[in-house]
């Protein structure tokens, strides 16, 4: 299901208001989750993609809320991201175990601010839904 393009989202910044225009939106409903693929433009008219996973949850006191996770993907990363996604999907689909392949990224690719992160600095994520097939 495709949504209307041209939706403007206003984000209040420090002094300026940043206007992000959604150029294209694709909505994919998949079981309990909904995925949104939104093409947006920066002020300089550079396109980027946001991928949002939305899942309906029941909170405390029976109140419904939507848990959302978002990825921002920029043009310069499209090819590498698509290759990695394709490899992971192929691995799962084929059930094959290829030789362990480790990718080592240079500091330039990861950015200096990420070079010294330890595992304890990341959020613990529970993947309980993966076990319930």
> Does residue 124 fall inside a structural domain?
no
> Does residue 127 fall inside a structural domain?
no
Give the Cα separation of 129 and 133 in Å (integer): 8
Q: Global pTM?
A: 0.56
> Does residue 120 fall inside a structural domain?
no
CA-to-CA dists, residue 122 to 33, 88, 117, 118, angstroms: 24, 22, 8, 8
> Does residue 65 fall inside a structural domain?
yes
> Does residue 25 fall inside a structural domain?
yes
> Does residue 54 fall inside a structural domain?
yes
> Does residue 17 fall inside a structural domain?
yes
Query: What pLDDT digit, counting tens, does each position of 76-99 carry?
Result: 999 999 999 999 999 999 987 555
> Does residue 89 fall inside a structural domain?
yes
Q: What is the mean pLDDT of residues 100-106?
A: 58
Residue 40 pLDDT greater than 90, yes or no:
yes
pLDDT value at position 95? Answer: 83
The CATH number covering residue 50 comes to 3.10.450.700
The domain total for the chain is 1
C-beta pairs of 16-21 under 8 Å, 24+ apart in sequence: 18/43, 19/43
Structural domain range at position 102: 2-115
């Amino acid at each position: 299901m495709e949504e209307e393009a041209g939706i403007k989202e206003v984000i209040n910044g420090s002094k300026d208001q940043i206007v992000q225009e959604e150029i294209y939106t694709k909505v994919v409903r998949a079981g309990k989750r909904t995925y949104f693929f939104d093409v947006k433009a920066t002020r300089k008219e550079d396109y980027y993609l946001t991928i949002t996973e939305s899942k309906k949850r029941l909170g405390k006191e029976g109140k419904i809320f939507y848990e959302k996770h978002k990825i921002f993907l920029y043009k310069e990363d499209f090819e590498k991201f698509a290759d990695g996604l394709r490899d992971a999907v192929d691995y799962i689909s084929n059930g094959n175990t290829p030789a362990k392949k480790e990718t080592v990224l240079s500091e330039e690719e990861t950015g200096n601010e990420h070079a010294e992160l330890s595992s304890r600095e990341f959020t613990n994520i529970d993947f309980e839904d993966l076990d319930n097939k």
